[in-house]
Structures are given as structure tokens and as C-alpha cells.
Amino acid sequence: MSEIKSPMAGTIFELIAAVGDAVEEGDELVILESMKMEIPVEAPNDGTIAEVHVAQGDQVQEGDLLVTLND
């Protein structure tokens, strides 16, 4: 199981992945908006989305859990 965490503080601009989606390493899961930039958060490995811990518009801090991925 992989925990994908926020690389920086910002706002969840877009959720791309949903629970049950199969993803491959490098697939974009979440778009984070920070300092007027859109930062993609990618899957670190292949797997299936087990849980999404945020919603569009949520404020997150660096290190906050975004997505849990079953390997």
C-alpha cells in the first residue's frame, strides 16, 4: 500500500483518480494549485486507488495524505 502525500501547501484544484481506478506509475492523480501554479501529483507505482482522502477545493498542507494506492 502506498500513501501519496501533498508535496506542498495548496488547494485541491482537480481530482483525476477515483476509488477503484487502476493507475500506472506516472499517472496524474490530483492537481494541486499552489502560488497560482498547477502541480500534478503522480502515482509512484502501478496499483488501484483504495481511498481518496481529499475533495476538490480542500486546503492541504505539505505532507497531508491525498490518496491511498493498493500496490
**Residue 71, pLDDT above cutoff 90:** no
Q: Are residues 41 and 17 in contact, defined by beta-carbon separation less than 8 angstroms? A: no
* d(C-alpha 17, C-alpha 31), whole Å: 10
In the chain the domains, ranked by start, together with CATH numbers, are 2-70 (2.40.50.100)
How high is the pLDDT of residue 24?
Answer: 96
Q: How far apart are the first and last CA of the chain?
A: 5
Q: How many CB atoms lie within 10 A of CB 1?
A: 9
Residue-wise pLDDT tens digits, 11-60: 999 999 999 999 999 999 999 999 999 999 999 999 999 999 999 999 99
Q: Is the pLDDT of residue 67 over 90?
A: yes
